Amino acid sequence: MITRRARAVAWLTLPLIALSACSSPSQPTTSSSGSAEGSGQATVNSSGQVTVTNCGKDLTLPSTAKKMYVNDGNIIALALAAGGAKEITAVSSMGRDVPILKAKYGAETVDGLNDVSKDYPTLESILANTPDLVVAGWNYGFSEGKNLTPDILSEKGIPSYVLTESCRQEGTTKRGIVDPWEAVRTDITNLGTITGHSDVAKAAVDDMDTRLKAVQGAAQPEKKPVVFLFDTAKDNVLTSGKYGAPQAIIEAAGGVNATADVEDTWTNVNWERLATANPDVIALVEYPGQTYQEKIDALKAHPTTKDLPAVQEERFVNLPYALWTESPLNIDAAEYLRKAFEKHGLAPASDVSTHLEMPADLPGRDKLS
């Protein structure tokens, strides 16, 4: 996961293709739309062209997408929430999230997806599946180091939609340009428009917002619990800052993100940063790169963290990858985190309930509620 979301990469924007007299009306285009903030408007014109704002630029497609190539479990969840199951021609990097995706969207839907790669997509794999749109993100499939970027795909005549959480800040390699909840709303809405299922997408966003209001409206603790998101660790610790989904999840549940001051999404910090935070809860990401037990063993062995009360008392909240990265499942993470606060006496009892059952074999499942 460290290579997926925390590697420093050079600045690269989506290709800027100017429309001219010699442009074909069926050619997908992107054009500048001012600053890289806000979700803009998603539209379909009288000729069937679809325009959405993605990472601060207009993406125009000749028609609704029929053959999307979608990478990563959280982004697959966004496409499914938007009603786009039948418009997905291929998926990759889904394996670790299959159980939670089945719990959310049903085994029939998930088993029906064409899983073409267990790991990062390759340019060759994408070309072989002839998609009309690739949906991925920076360090969620797109990477200069792996020779797979929106520019490269554009040269092959394939447009890209970039995960909003991963949009790059202007003039820097840091990611994140909008509030994490707004990122989820934007991507579900845009993918609904892109696939011709705006009504389904609206219903998904409305459901999320209704549940979010319920979590945020729960009785607040006198002292907000501090949460440190612990993804993986070795020499440093991979965590998440101001623009990552965990920021929104933790705040909604009534807590404080220990790294809220970091102007980025997923990023590395040193072990001392974790120790200094002295968190009330340590949130763990269920991810094959480092097992649940390996994470706990590392926390209990490292000299800076082994004596922290949260480590000694095992105040851990372990949830699947697709709940912590930008996706419709972020609201499920917020509900589970709130109940974990209550379980550990860090927040008063509330009427907040969880809506998604965690897989029976999820490590640490017994600590969730």
Q: What is the pLDDT of residues 220-252, one digit of tens each?
A: 999 999 999 999 998 999 999 999 999 999 999
Confidence of residue 41 (pLDDT cuts 50, 70, 90): low
pLDDT at position 289, please?
83
Instruction: Give the pLDDT confidence score for residue 106 in this predicted structure.
Output: 97
Q: In terms of DSSP bridges, do strands 57-61 and 29-32 run parallel, antiparallel, or are they unpaired?
A: antiparallel
With a pLDDT cut of 70, the percent of the chain lying above it is 88
Structure tokens, 278: 């002295």
Based on C-alpha coordinates, what's the Rg of the chain? 20
Q: How far is CA 271 from CA 230, 244, 278, 298, 301, in A?
A: 11, 20, 11, 11, 12
Spacing of C-alpha 42 from chain mean position: 20
Please, is 295 exposed, middle or buried when counting C-beta atoms within 10 Å of its C-beta (0-12, 13-18, 19+)?
A: buried
Please give the order of strands across the beta sheet that includes 29-32.
29-32, 57-61, 50-54, 43-44
Surface-to-core class of residue 222, CB atoms within 10 Å of its CB (0-12 exposed, 13-18 middle, 19+ buried): exposed
- Please state, in angstroms and rounded to a whole number, the distance separating the CA atoms of residues 361 and 145: 35
Average pLDDT, the chain: 89
Is the pLDDT higher at 95 or at 34?
95
Q: What is the pLDDT of residue 314?
A: 95
Does residue 232 contact residue 2 with C-beta atoms inside 8 Å? yes
- How does 201-217 read in b/e, with b if 16+ C-beta sit within 10 Å? beebbeebeebbebbee
Q: Per-residue pLDDT for 67 more than 50? A: yes
pLDDT at 42: 76
Whether the predicted pLDDT of 13 surpasses 70: no
pLDDT at 31 over 80: no
Residue pLDDT, tens place only, 334-369: 999 999 999 999 999 999 999 999 999 999 998 887
Enter the pTM of the model: 0.88
pLDDT digits (tens, 9 = 90+) for 162-193: 999 999 998 888 898 999 999 999 999 999 99
Q: Which helix (H) or strand (E) holds 268?
A: strand 266-269
State yes or no: pLDDT of 29 exceeds 80.
Answer: no
Domains of the chain and CATH, by start: 2-209 (3.40.50.1980), 219-367 (3.40.50.1980)
Taking a C-beta distance cutoff of 8 angstroms, is the pair 366, 114 a contact?
no
Q: Which residue has the tokens 């980025």?
A: 264
What does the pLDDT look like over 277-315, one tens digit per residue?
A: 999 999 999 988 899 999 999 999 999 999 999 999 999
Predicted confidence (pLDDT) per residue in 125-138, tens digit: 999 999 999 999 99
Half-sphere exposure of 318 (CA within 13 A, CB side): 22
- The amino acid present at 324, given as its one-letter code, is W
> How far is residue 338's CA from residue 79's CA, in Å, rounded to a whole number?
26
CB-count exposure of residue 149 (10 Å: 0-12, 13-18, 19+): buried
